Structure 1
Amino acid sequence: MRRNPIIRSVGAHRQTKRARKQLAALGLAAVCLLSSCAPKFNEGEEVVQNKGNKEQEAVIPKYNISDSYYRVVLPFKPSGARGHVVNDVNTRLDVDEFETGLMRLASERFSPDDYLFQEGQYLDSETIDKWLARKKTDRQLKAEKMKPEDNIGLNPAINDTGTNEQKNTQSPIYLASILEHDYLVKAGNDKVKLGGVAIGLALNSVHYYSTEQGYPREVKIKDDVIEREGKRIAAEVLKRLRKIKGLGSVPITIALYKQAPRSSVTPGHFFAVTYVDEGSSTIDDWEAVHEEYYLFPSDEAEENHRDDWLKFNNFKSDVEDFFPNYTGIVGRGLYVNDQLQKLTINITMPFYGKAEVIGFTQYVTGLVMEKFPDYITVNVYISSAGQPESLIVRQAKADKPFVHIYQ
């Protein structure tokens, strides 16, 4: 990766000089201005949740932290497949994007204004393990003494003969993980019921395996193959879901996610979604999802989104001017329909006092408001020596940012 040019302006240089002079005058009183008090939570609305023939008391929180988030039915019910995604998906970045991205797509059909969120209650770990397995050949079934009805793996069977390289190159594992989200609606008389289900299918862009000697190897999977296999698997998953008690008639959203390689510093992305009407067991059509992450600074960002790349470099340059102990600053931009929607920036600095943290956070907050258009959500995480120091959040179209200094 070539060195990025430092882009400076006379006005920014003068502003930096003033900021340095102001640092000594900053006091701890600024913490009160920069920190946010925790909100007071009201008691929630008591309801009864129906599942099968059972009725359970539940609470709907009255307070919602954002219009873009779902309210979660309490007490929180962990999924029977809890922890599966963390174990199956390559990176922590993919884990987060897989979950939040599925919510984002589900909101197109299940609005946060009308629906409540609950972790998946219908697919347990045993079921998902069986679905993620490879299909067995007749010889393998006999050798493992398996019943034919248990041969329900969604990944392709591996040949009985040949080297590991031949077997894995011809039959890579496509499906890496399955995620279920449930969405509840009020059913009158203080009751809630299942209103819809969202299923995420995480697909490999790289299949990893080992040779007979234990050497790690990998097989890259082409985009058209990922899409073809993802849609094939989705059709079978839908048929199986309809046979599960309670899921026979609810609307189901299925989204396909291409996860990034293990070495990637950006997460993967969803690339297709289908909305299946209640009672239907077939997928009529798919909608393309145009989402992708870019690393800043990078050659790819410069080539494909030069204007945003320049804005980030201007921001980066001003940060470097302000603080002589500069260590590192990187950003990840989420593009939806080729438009930058969210920019997450991580800044690592060696701080030697709280006054430095306060002054630097104030300065960076001003840069965020000045350098980036208001249609972009910008999150800045400032840390030192592996611990968080401050957080800056500027929501899209917001007049004021949220700033917090960690104590």
Structure 2
Amino acid sequence: MAVVAIALAACGNLKNSSFGSNSNNTTTTGSKTTTTTGSTGSDFYQGVIKNGQYRTSKSRGVNVSQNDNVMNLKSFEMGLLDVSKKQFPTNKYVFQEGQYISSSTVENWLGRYSKNNKDGLNPKNNGKKDPNTRNPIYLQQLEEQDYMIQNGSKLSLGGVTIGLGMNSVDYYTKVQYGATYETNISTTELTTKGKQYANTVLQRLRHKSALKDVPIVLALYKQSSNDSLVGGNMIAYGVSKSGSTSVAKWKSLNWNNYVFPATSESKNAGANNNDESDFSSFKSHVQNFFPNLSGVTANAHYKDKSLSKLSVNITTKFYSETEIISFTQYLATAAKRYLPSGVPVEITVKSANGDVQSFLARTASGSSYYTHVFSDQGNN
């Protein structure tokens, strides 16, 4: 959402946006080389800029290349930010992409344990091909997030969050380029393995002088399967303080993602029936108003059985600029009337070829929707 806000600021007028004030005040260190991005609202962290460039992660995007659900990466990162806010509030900490774990280190840790890779966290290959007897790949991805403390003109490391993405399904082939098979991994098993790996990672991090005594949050993420229409969800986290090398207490998280409307592949047993009913009413009125639609779906994000965010995706069959403007105007009215209140809502309208045509958003406390129609003419 932060990326969307930046993109919108570049192409349109944000003065009526409900994302909050877009501050461009920056904090500079004594060397005049490190600044912060400024805040776009209390829900977001400021980021770190060094030598005029955003400080990117040293290991971002490294994962075991076997999961084809692109929703997992985005859901993993956003879930990790939400967990981090519990320990590192946005008004006290500045976000920095991971700087202490290199890509090569993450690649080794995500690999299988072997004679040539004794740092591998995943179990060694036992040579078996049966889905119930082989050793699966449990750990799919690992991400580091750093949280800085601003002291006057200086930024110092205040803590680190490490996310471990655990497979619920491990995909493999019995022969090269052969058919794909699956090993299903229960939530209990992946949680047990995840906690074990988290403590091993924690012990390794404590050997780094910069990370010896800072708080470190370890979070476990359950990856969704390749055929899932939504990403996975965070299932547990723990905090290591005062240089400890193990997590003494883990807190379970009841976070879930659902697709509206439900399909035969997506079961919405944990979703609120009223929320799904509200979306159905919204969808019905939208499709009646504009029949030239390919689809209207939503990703519903729940925390402790309560809706925390709704992301609506609409695909159109029309390209007329006037149609898109009228349709966006109608969506703002229909969304305000039918969609659940008290939660953040995003609505993205795309063409059949994937081009974004318009965007609408409302904060949890807002009543009206910010809207923007994208124009190829550059005059909107």
Count of matched residue pairs: 351
Structure-1-length-normalised TM-score: 0.82
Alignment of 1:247-396 (within 5 A): 247-298=211-262, 300-301=267-268, 304-386=271-353, 387-396=355-364
Asked if residue 72 in structure 1 is aligned to residue 47 in structure 2, the reply is yes
Give the CA deviation at 1:303. Answer: 7.2
Give the CA deviation at 1:357. Answer: 0.8
Alignment partners' CA distance in 1, 2:179 and 2:24: 57
Q: Given that residues 314 and 350 in structure 2 are in contact (C-alpha distance below 8 angstroms), is that contact kept between their aligned partners in structure 1?
A: yes
The answer to which of 367-376 and 295-304 deviates more is 295-304
Q: 1:406 aligns with which of 366, 374, 377?
A: 374
Asked if residue 57 in structure 1 is aligned to residue 57 in structure 2, the reply is no
The answer to which of 244-253 and 319-328 deviates more is 319-328
Q: Given that residues 139 and 167 in structure 2 are in contact (C-alpha distance below 8 angstroms), is that contact kept between their aligned partners in structure 1?
A: yes
| Residue matched to 1:241 | 205
C-alpha RMSD of the superposition: 2.1
Structure-2-length-normalised TM-score: 0.87
Give the CA deviation at 1:181. Answer: 0.3
Greater relative contact order, per chain length (Cα 8 Å cut-off, separation 6+): 1
- Go from structure 1 to structure 2 and tell me whether the alpha carbon gap of 1:282 and 1:352 turns closer, same or farther (over 3 Å shift): closer
Alignment partners' CA distance in 2, 1:132 and 1:230: 12
Q: Given that residues 275 and 340 in structure 2 are in contact (C-alpha distance below 8 angstroms), is that contact kept between their aligned partners in structure 1?
A: no
Gaps in structure 1 of 5+ consecutive residues: 1-34, 49-54
- Paired letter, 1:274: G
Gaps in structure 2 of 5+ consecutive residues: 1-11, 16-20, 376-380
Asked if residue 45 in structure 1 is aligned to residue 27 in structure 2, the reply is yes
Give the CA deviation at 1:40. Answer: 7.3
Alignment partners' CA distance in 1, 2:291 and 2:57: 48
Give the CA deviation at 1:170. Answer: 2.9
Q: Given that residues 46 and 59 in structure 1 are in contact (C-alpha distance below 8 angstroms), is that contact kept between their aligned partners in structure 2?
A: yes
Alignment partners' CA distance in 2, 1:191 and 1:400: 39
Alignment partners' CA distance in 1, 2:212 and 2:252: 26
| Residue matched to 2:157 | 194
Alignment partners' CA distance in 2, 1:70 and 1:352: 37
Q: Could you list the per-position Cα deviations for residues 245-276 of structure 1 after superposition, in whole angstroms to 9, with x for gaps in the alignment?
A: 21100000000000011111100000000011
Q: Given that residues 229 and 259 in structure 2 are in contact (C-alpha distance below 8 angstroms), is that contact kept between their aligned partners in structure 1?
A: yes
Q: 1:114 aligns with which of 86, 92, 101?
A: 92
Q: Could you list the per-position Cα deviations for residues 315-361 of structure 1 after superposition, in whole angstroms to 9, with x for gaps in the alignment?
A: 11101110122321111100000001111111111224211111111
| Residue matched to 2:175 | 212
Q: Given that residues 89 and 177 in structure 1 are in contact (C-alpha distance below 8 angstroms), is that contact kept between their aligned partners in structure 2?
A: no
Alignment partners' CA distance in 1, 2:96 and 2:155: 12
- Go from structure 1 to structure 2 and tell me whether the alpha carbon gap of 1:124 and 1:323 turns closer, same or farther (over 3 Å shift): same
Q: Given that residues 63 and 110 in structure 2 are in contact (C-alpha distance below 8 angstroms), is that contact kept between their aligned partners in structure 1?
A: no
Q: Given that residues 36 and 402 in structure 1 are in contact (C-alpha distance below 8 angstroms), is that contact kept between their aligned partners in structure 2?
A: no
Alignment partners' CA distance in 1, 2:71 and 2:270: 23
